Structures are given as C-alpha cells and as structure tokens.
Structure 1
Amino acid sequence: MPMVRAAVIGTGFIGTVHAESVLRAGGTLVGFLGSSPERARASAERFGVRVFASLEELLASDVDVVHVASPNRDHAAHARGALRAGKHVVCEKPLTTSLGDALELADLARERGLVAATCFSQRFYPLVHHARSLLAGAEVGQPKLVTGSYRQDWLLHSSDWNWRIDPAVGGPTRAVADIGSHLLDMLGFVLGARVESLYARLHTTVPVRQSPDGDVDVHTDDAAHLLVRWENGAQGSLTISQVSPGRKNELSWSIDGTDGAIDWSSRSPDELWIGRRDGPNQTLFRDPATLSDAASAITFYPGGHVEGFGETFRGLFEQVYAHIEGPSRPATYPTFDDGAEGLRLDEAIRTSASEDRWTRIER
C-alpha cells in the first residue's frame, strides 16, 4: 500500500516536529505552507520538499493528510478547508479558539468520513498507556484522589514574548490552552472518565510584557489552579504554569485509588511508580515485554533505551496513518471530538474563573 502523503502548515518549532515525525511514522512529506514564502522555503529546503504558495494550492494537490501547525487563530480555517477538500487532518491543540468552531469541525469530519486527530501527543508516552490499562484493571482499584501539574518557565520574565500572549492570535486562554489542555487530556485518558465539574482560578503574574512593538498589557493567563471532579468519582487538584523557574517542560501526576496508587512524570517518562499499602512499592521501567498490549504497541525501542517527546508524535501519527489505510485497526489517538472536549473544558474554566464558582460541564 502506498505511503500516506502529508503536507505541513506551519514552519515554527512544532511544525518542524510534525515534519520530522511524518517521516518517522512512515509517511511521505510532500511540502510546507508557511506564513511567508521565505519561511516555507527554508523548511522545504531542509527536508528536500516543495513549497505551497497558498492554501488553495496545497488543497488542490494529491496529499492525503494535512498537518495543521499554524497559530491557534488559523486552526479552524485550515482544518475546515482541508476537510472540505477531502483531506484527512492532524491539528495541533487547541483544535480551535472557540467551542463552536471545534464542534463544527468534529461534525464535518464525521460527515465526510475522514480521519481527524487532535495532537494531544503526550498521551502517547508508553507508560501513560500502561497506566490507563492499570486503571482499567484491578491494580489501583477505584480512583479517588488526583494531583497533577504542567509547569514551564519560558514566559517567566516581562521580556519574554510569544504570539500566544495575544488573545487575538492565541485565543482567550494561554497556559490553559497551550499546556493545561495536555494535562486534562492525559488525565481523562488514563482515568477513562470525563470531567464532571471544576473550579478554576486564572493568574496573570506578568501584567505588562515587552513585545517587539513596545509594552503590552497582558490579558491571558500565565498560570491556573483547578479543582476537578471526574464522572467516575475521582477528585483532583491541578496546577498549570508557564512562569515556574527551572521547570522547562514538566508534566506530572499522581492517582490514588482504593487499592493502590500510580505516579508518572515527563522528567522520567520511562518510569511508572506503583504504590501499595500492604505490599512493596514498585518502579516499573518501560520494557515492551512487561507492558500492556496497548502500551507495547506504541513502544519503539528495547527497554533501557529512553523514549521521549519525539516518539509521542511518531506514535500518534502511526496510528492516524494506519487508520487512514484501514479504519478497522484499533486506535487510541485523540480525535476532533477530544479536541472539542478540550475547548469545552477551556470554556468552563473561563466561566468558573470569571464568576468564582464551581461549573458543571455542559455536553
């Protein structure tokens, strides 16, 4: 069967990750569409592929799947255009900047019978899949308490600037949409449960930032605290921050159940701690021979050879491409429905924070 042919929209850091991972997942990288011909040309020359001069030219080509890695405000238009042109789509998170657009895209993908994935790549660490299997079995029992955080430090200083700070480009939330969405998706995936209600506090710790055009008043969140109730009865407290010194990119969580506990962190992604009251605690190291079937299926290297950030994209893309080629194959990749759920939670977080109350998730 011919390899899936892919094009990438976006030439920044994450667009480059997508391009590299297309190749590692066995796809054929056809070309780039960038914010300018110069940026697209630089990326295309690096990978030895073509430059698309416009979205229309890309959609008229013979690519099978479009990877959307453009700024958040452009996700809806790029994904909508691709779906209407009969292309499968892998879209970066957040899927859109509004719940209405996200629901529209999920419906459109269903109507057209196309594969549509949201790039919540971090659920594709193998031990995250294994943790899900443990929760589904008897190892942990009924999950009761959850603690988690996703912390970075790249926007700590007032001189730190990025397009995500501007709500017109990045959307109404920043830390929540950019990294909190990963944390919430991962916990929902591991727990096998949706959020039932939440209480949120949003924090802007750097109220004025230095943009290339001068000082700018900041109206998006640098950090957030969430209290969360899931539909399976678990309750948790979560911290999200892009202003935590020394925390370069750290996602961590612990789940305490009636019979055991599990603890995982992206600092040591190949280790899963398992806690017990009446027996010895255990640190499980990633090894295809000892993992659940679902985790082994997304493990690429033998035990002792660390897998990290890049492999999560490869794992997600491999599943997406396999589903394009044969929809009957089992898959655990996040769909546009998962992307819409992320926007539903984002909306509830903003409501809770602005009205200072617990907010039930309306579905």
Structure 2
Amino acid sequence: MSAAAIVGTGFMGRVHAEALARIGVDVRGVVGSSPERAAAAGLGPVYANLAEMLDDDSVDVVHVCSPNHLHHAQVVAAMRAGKHVVCEKPLAMTPAQAQELCDLATERGLVNAVCFLSRFYPLCQTAAARVDDGSVGTVRMVSGHYLQDWLADAADWNWRVDPALGGQLRVVGDIGSHWLDLVSHVSGQRVESVLADLTTVYPNRDGVAVTTEDMAGVLLRFDGGARGVLTLSQVSPGRKNRLSFEVSGSAASLGWNSETPDQLWIGHRDEPNQALVRGDGDYPPGHAQGYPDAFKALFRAVYDAVDETAPCNAGYPTFDDGREQVLVGEAIAASARLGGWSPVRR
C-alpha cells in the first residue's frame, strides 16, 4: 500500500494519522508550524519543512490538514512534486484557487480528495442508494441543520474566527459545507440558488472584532426541482456536533443525524414508519460506527484509487466537489450581502 505524509499536527492531523494507521497506511512523517510542535504531537517522524517532505520519494500521498489559508499553496506544491493529495475542507479560499487546483490535478493525473467524510457513514450511503433506486420517489424537499456550541460564549476564540486564516465564511464554510455536500450526494441534486441570512452574535470576542458569522439560515433551490432549508450554528448550547438531514420524496422520506449514526429513519404515509439499524460495515450491528470510522472508509477508497485497485472518483469527494462547495459558499455570501436570491455561478 502507498505511503503518506501529513501537513498539520493539530486536531485534524491527529484524526488523519489515526485513520491511516487503522487501514494500514504508513505515515512517513509530518510537518507542523514548527519542528518542535510537530515533534510534540507525536504523530510520527518530523520533517524540517514542507520542501523536505515533498523531496521524500517514499511519500505517495500528502494529507493537507493545515489552517484554511494555507491549503491552496500547499496543495499546489504537493501536486507539482507529483504527490496525490487528500485535503481538508475548504479546498481553497476563492473559486479561482479552487479551479486552479482542479485543473492541476487533472493535468497531472493525480488522485485528489476533499474530506467531506459524512458521505462515508454506512447509512448515508444507504440513503443515497435508496434515492438512486427510486425508493423515495421524486425528491421534493431537503431540510436539516448542523449545530455546535463550541463558540457559544463571547470569550471563545479559535483561528477560524479570523477571516484571514479561516475565510470570509465561518459557520457556512466550516460545517455548512459538510451538510451541503452530504445532501447533494444523497439527493443526487446540486444547489442551484440560495437565499441566505448570516448573523454574527458576538461582533466582539474577548476584545477582538469579529466579522464572520455565528449562525446562518439558508433557503435552497436544487437543480432537480427540490427545495431546501438549512440552519447552521456554532452557538447552540448543548449541541456538540449534530448534523441532521431529512429528505422528503413523493413515495417516502429519509432522516439521519450524526448523533445516532447507526439508525436511518424511513417515513411512510400509509404504513408504519421504520427505523433501519445499520447491518453492515466494519463492526457488527450494535457496535457503534461513527466519526473515526467514516474517515477510515473515506481513506480506504482513496488509497484503493492510488494503488489502482479501484477506479478513481469511485464515490469519494474530489477536488471538483471541493470547488462546488466554494462556489455555493460564494453564492451564500452574495445572497446575504445583497438581500436576495443568488445563483451558484459555475
């Protein structure tokens, strides 16, 4: 199996390292903001800098887990060095940057992926299959939310609050992109236009001015005719990390949330509703399969493509999907700024 290296040694770097170890991928080394911090993370051997990592011919795949503003330059450097790339979202800070990365990946013929991991919960894949096989009929409505509470107090701070580091959109870019990618994957429809309301609850956090949003409400129109409603928040006490969606079709409905990932609700009009319990996956039913396992499944699909044991783009989110969410984010920002519906400009 191909070998990896990781850029970034914070939370996401640790998540990637653990998932790679669990599927048997050797991590040859890591790069941090400094060699000292990288060594302290204990994720593997430490490279002095990104250039040293990219000069290592034993590294086949680079995992970019650094702060958002660094993604574009680091991905470009990795691909120009001939490395396949797995990038945390957002893929880039602007549509132009995202397009450049898509073009470069195509030009170099490199495997590329963005970590929209929610697709790889087994019952999210089941939901997508049920929509695809016609079990739910015509998808009419998609609704849901992604709620967190880690920024619920005025004193809470993280680099993602700073638009220079995290981007102009925070709650939309950080967690909304996961929801939007997932529901597009499940419904088989792309977002066509949006009407958005963005709210900054704390315009000042611990003495620092804040311009990024804490909450968002978004109406959605999909290209297959469905309508959608999305609520996002990082200031909802008690909600640690709840992603929830419901797809309403002409024949049935499907509902899922990340806090009970092993159950899929199936709604009917003229017969009893159902709770489908996961029956396959890495663990037997009754043994919870969650967040770390979704990363493992995503990376397994990517490395199968790298090792040419499966086709590229076989179900995992690529740079094209990363670009898609950058474009949807741009439309949401434009809608909030202008106060009306805004199309997704592809």
Sort the TM-score into its range (normalised by shorter chain): over 0.9
Post-superposition CA distance 1:243-293 (Å, at most 9, x none): 0010000000111111111110111000000011111211000002xxxxx
Query: Alignment identity in percent?
Result: 51
2:294 aligned to 304, 312, 316, which one? 312
Tell me which of 38, 41, 57 is aligned to 2:39: 41
Deviation for aligned residue 1:329: 3.2
2:65 corresponds to which of 36, 48, 69: 69
1:138 shift after superposition: 2.5
Which residue does the alignment assign to 2:272? 280
Which residue of the other structure, out of 250, 265, 279, is the alignment partner of 1:258?
250
Q: 1:290-338: CA deviations, max 9, x gaps? A: xxxxxxxxx2111111100000110110000000011643721100000
| 1:89-131 deviation per Cα after TM superposition (whole angstroms, max 9, x unaligned) | 0000011111110110011000000001001111111100000
Q: Which residue of 2 aligns with 1:10?
A: 8
Q: Which residue number corresponds to residue 58 of structure 1?
A: 53
In 1, Cα distance between equivalents of 2:12 and 2:59: 20
Q: Distance in 2 between matches of 1:283 and 1:328?
A: 32
- The whole-number CA distance in structure 1 between the counterparts of 2:24 and 2:337 is 46
Does structure 1 conserve the Cα–Cα contact (< 8 Å) formed by 2:191 and 2:220? yes
- Partner residue in 2 for 1:198: 194
AA aligned to 1:23 is A
SS at match of 2:230: strand
> What is the CA distance between 1:188 and its match in structure 2?
0.4
Q: Name the SS of the counterpart of 1:229 in structure 2.
A: strand
User: Take 1:257 and 1:339, find their aligned partners in 2: how far apart are those partners?
Assistant: 27
CA distance in 1, matches of 2:247, 2:79: 38
Map 1:94-133 → 2, pairs under 5 A: 94-133=90-129
Hey, what's the Cα distance between the residues in 1 that align with 2:111 and 2:323? 15
Matched, 1:227 2:226: no
User: Match for residue 324 of structure 2?
Assistant: 341
Name the CA distance, whole Å, in 2 between partners of 1:345 and 1:25. 33
RMSD: 1.0
2:303 maps to a residue whose letter is Y
Q: Distance in 1 between matches of 2:109 and 2:141?
A: 39
Task: Say if 2:148 and 2:240, in contact at 8 Å, map to a contact too.
Answer: yes
For 1:21, the equivalent position in structure 2 comes to 19
Q: Which amino acid aligns with 2:335?
A: S
Residue 183 of structure 1 is matched in structure 2 by 179
Contact 2:304 2:310 in 1 (8 A): no
The amino acid that maps onto 2:190 is R
Whichever residue aligns with residue 55 of structure 1, its letter is L
TM-superposed deviation, 1:353: 0.4
Partner SS, residue 280 of structure 1: coil
* Structure 1 moving runs of 4+ over 4 Å: none
Find the residue that maps to 1:51 and give its secondary structure: coil
Matched AA of 1:227: L
Deviation at 1:26, TM superposition (A): 2.1
SS of the residue corresponding to residue 17 of structure 1 reads helix
Does the Cα contact within 8 Å between 1:153 and 1:246 map onto a contact in 2? yes
Q: 1:301 aligns with which of 283, 286, 294?
A: 283
Instruction: Could you tell me which runs of 5 or more consecutive residues in structure 2 were left unpaired when the two chains were aligned.
Output: none
Looking at structure 1, the residues matched to 24 and 195 of structure 2 have their Cα atoms a distance apart, in angstroms, of 43
**1:238 is the counterpart of 2:220:** no
Does structure 2 conserve the Cα–Cα contact (< 8 Å) formed by 1:76 and 1:96? yes
Structure 2: how far apart are the matches of 1:122 and 1:159?
30
1: distance between equivalents of 2:143 and 2:191? 14
Q: Which secondary structure state, in structure 2, belongs to the residue aligned with residue 304 of structure 1?
A: coil
- The count of aligned residue pairs is 344
1:350 and 1:41, CA in 2 relative to 1: closer, same or farther beyond 3 A?
same
Q: Are the aligned partners of 1:26 and 1:318 in contact in 2 as well (CA < 8 Å)? A: no
Gapped regions of structure 1 (runs ≥ 5) = 289-298
